[in-house]
Chain A
Amino acid sequence: MFAITDAHFVGPDVKRFEVTAPQIARHYQPGQFVIVRVDKGGERIPLTVAGADPDQGSITLFVQGIGKTTCTLNNLETGDSIADVAGPLGKPSDIRTYGTAVVVGGGVGTAIAYPVVRALTEAGNRVVAIVGGRTSEHVLLKDELAGTGADVVICTDDGSQGRPGFVTDALAEIIDSNWVDIIFAAGPVPMMRAVADVTRPKAIETIASLNPIMVDGTGMCGGCRVDVGGKTMFACVDGPEFDAHLVDFDLLARRNQSYADIEAADLAAFSSDCSLDKR
């Protein structure tokens, strides 16, 4: 069992967890994730590690409640525990001194992008973090991002904070008027696809953190396979970060819907007070 030492909501349906997992904290590198099974009978789901404290032996997770498993998890409180946490999995992000880097995060993707922002600034890059959400409330980790020293650009659909409009509009403007060496994107599939479309004409290296459905997370099942440049890759061991210009996003979007009917029925049968914020 893995103890939850702190749990609190940081957005309408996003909860932040501190979980005791000393071995994972010791080996974690930005870009990696864990596989979590909330309880006996539960499914195994991937969650990005947003940070780790090797001294405290703890890791930080941000969870957006979108289905039965994430909602069950978000019902847990400080003092509860999680049955299984395995990791750190996946290849770490390729953190180097690129020069200028733009990191784009949408929704819970901001949590995935946050450790990358921190690592890139620590590596001496000039970093712009573009983060979006539907309303001001839906923009995660504003203070944390600002604390890294990155320039933070906030975009909201309703204009309640920062620029009104999509993260990709802000991105297009930035790359039009600035030299950018690399772009990292994490968030919903349509957002990552749109980022790739914006940067492709300028041939700026763009990395997307993919989020296919996973089971084991160790390369054993092949359920997480994605198509990158016509080659089949296992996102859990070959990724989760890939060259966004080569990713078949249609395939990823479709495969993520494989169990949509079953999952919807599961969630309906599972009564919870977890708000379901479909974007």
Chain B
Amino acid sequence: MSAPLTKRERMKLERVAMRERNADERARSFDEVNLGFTAEMAKLEAMRCLECKQPKCIDGCPVGIEIDKFLRLVADGQIGAAAEVIQRDNLLPAICGRVCPQEKQCEGACVLAKKERPIAIGHLERYVADYVRNEGFEYVAETPAPTGKRVAVVGSGPAGLACAGDLIQSGHEVTVYEALHEPGGVLVYGIPQFRLPKEIVSAEIAGLETLGVRFEMNAIVGRTYTLDELLASNDAIFIAVGAGLPRFLEIPGENLIGVYSANEFLTRVNLMKAYLADNDTPVLDIKGKRVVVFGGGNTAMDGARTAQRLGAKKVRVLYRRTEEEMPARREEVRHAREEGVQFDFLVSPTELFGNDGVLTGVALQAMELGEPDESGRRRPQPIAGSVKAIDADLAVVAIGNGPNPLLLATVPDLGRTRWGTIAVDEETGRTSMPGIFAGGDIVTGGATVILAMGAGRTAAASIEDWLTSGEWDTTASASVE
């Protein structure tokens, strides 16, 4: 081994680029775009870390992974040990390494971000997780003594999975109830294969099953089971049903054939695998057609890139603010562009029109940015008299999701916020009802995988408290408005 590099030498090194499938090839394929680091690349990249005394990167990670430690281990080639460090805080590293908005979190906070070459923490996390999975590395958790306590987790998205993972390792009996026929939440029905291969999600879920978590599919809580039924047979419940209610534009023409919510479009293609010949679920044929996507988040990018892969002639993302304000991960925007997706900023649809009930075009109002709104982003406002029409055969509406009301409608007593999300005490995830906890998108509104996971872990810790103390301190539960 050569002598370790000095800080100054390390600072001179370039960020190691991720290997990617060529843009022309991937624009027509559902295979994963990013190809991962080789062992040498991972080592080289990890070596660049300055090993800060007070690592800023950790502050940027919502679950506080000891990033400096795991980077050091990767640089030393001790990948198994690196995986253990990550696993302490993150049970789904292969997923988070792929889908976290790193530029706003760990990498955004890294001291090297100022020089525009932050350590590729996400890529390295992914590398470590993939390595141990592919090498069949056993993550040996000690079998805990059974406590005899039972917990029901409602929803199998990242929040539910993370909560189940922690609780099972404390010796509780855990059953996850999922409405759909497959577990994973947005990870399986929303985020496409080319960004997050489903085999990875099922491997992480299989890991939880090995630890003893039970999964019950086709179980719609509020319908198949009432919450009362679950309360009677469990000592605690964690509600993690996500933000699954698609918002529409509320403009004329929204129910024309050819107008999809992003949820429907992506569910048909991802969960139901409409892109594979041997699956029955259809998706409208868009080969050679013109597709417009409304929105600027990850969902919009996924919709646009999925349409591209289904053979569209032209895909345009229409966003009412500018590129600066787009909430999507930077990498997705770059990938979409390279794949041929076109972006139109400062436009907002006012009407969808069609022929014989089938979409043919959309009227767009030009916008400009005005004063900042409550969220701090400058508010788009229409420029008078400036409307144009463009042709479109398919429209994907990706302007956000609200809380799914199905379960909530059956429990009127559960406290909510004025946005209709479940009210909880942030520190503990406790709702207004004893024994019931909640977290993830159903509490925060559409957010991120890692925040949902973090909420699942917070709830697991406080469920543990509740199960051992049996005390429901009302000051540490949601106050109902």
Q: Which residues of A contact B (CB under 8 A)?
A: 23-24, 27, 37, 41-44, 68-69, 83-89, 215-216, 218-223, 225-227, 232, 237, 250-251, 254-255, 257-259, 261-263, 266
Contact = CB atoms under 8 A, between A and B. Distances in A.
A221 B280 contact: no
A89 B246 contact: no
A221 B189 CA distance: 10
Given A43-B272, A221-B246, 12 more contacts: A41-B279, A44-B181, A86-B180, A86-B224, A88-B224, A220-B404, A222-B261, A222-B264, A226-B255, A237-B406, A251-B357, A255-B255
Contacts of A262: 282, 285
Contact of A222 (B217, B223, B248, B257): B248
Contact of B226 (A27, A42, A220, A258): A27
Contacts of B220: 86-87, 89, 218
Contacts of A251: 255, 357
Contact of A215 (B224, B248, B257, B264): B264
A220 B245 contact: yes
Nearest to B182: A84
A23 B357 CA distance: 40
A35 B261 CA distance: 20
Main secondary structure of the interface of B (DSSP, over half): loop
Which among A44, A83, A220 has the highest number of chain B CB atoms within 10 Å? A220
Given A85-B218, A222-B248, A232 B255 contact: yes
Given A86-B220, A251-B255, A219 B226 contact: no
Interface string B347-372: 00000000011000000000000000
A255 B406 contact: no
B84 interface: no
B280 A69 contact: yes
A62 B273 CA distance: 27
Interface string B252-266: 001101001101100
Contacts of A254: 257, 356-357
A218 B278 contact: no
A47 B223 CA distance: 16
B181 A83 contact: yes
A259 B267 contact: no
Interface residues of B, number: 39
A56 to B, nearest CB: 17
Given A215-B272, A220-B267, A23 B180 contact: no
A219 B255 contact: no
Contacts of B285: 261-262
16 contacts: A23-B219, A23-B224, A42-B280, A86-B179, A87-B223, A216-B179, A219-B405, A220-B189, A221-B264, A222-B261, A222-B264, A223-B260, A223-B261, A232-B254, A251-B357, A266-B282
Contacts of B137: none
A44 B281 CA distance: 8
Contacts, number: 109
Contact of B267 (A68, A88, A215): A215
Nearest to A86: B218
Contacts of A215: 264, 267-268, 272, 281
Contact of A225 (B180, B217, B255): B255
A232 B248 contact: yes
Nearest to B258: A258
Nearest to A260: B282
A219 B255 CA distance: 16
A237 B405 contact: yes
Interface in B189-231: 189, 217-220, 223-226
A221 B261 contact: yes
Given A41-B280, A221-B267, A23 B225 contact: yes
Contact of B223 (A27, A37, A220, A221): A27
Interface string B278-303: 11111011000000000000000000
B244 interface: yes
A86 B218 CA distance: 5
A216 B263 CA distance: 10
B181 A37 contact: yes
4 closest residue pairs by CB, A with B: A221-B264, A86-B218, A254-B357, A222-B261
B281 A43 contact: yes
Nearest to A266: B280
A203 to B, nearest CB: 27
Contact of A216 (B180, B224, B260, B280): B180
Contact of A259 (B246, B263, B284): B284
A144 B260 CA distance: 41
Contacts of A87: 220, 223-224
A232 B260 CA distance: 14
A27 B267 contact: no
A161 B280 CA distance: 38
A43 B276 CA distance: 13
B464 to A, nearest CB: 29
B94 to A, nearest CB: 24
Nearest to B404: A219
Nearest to A72: B280
Nearest to B243: A220
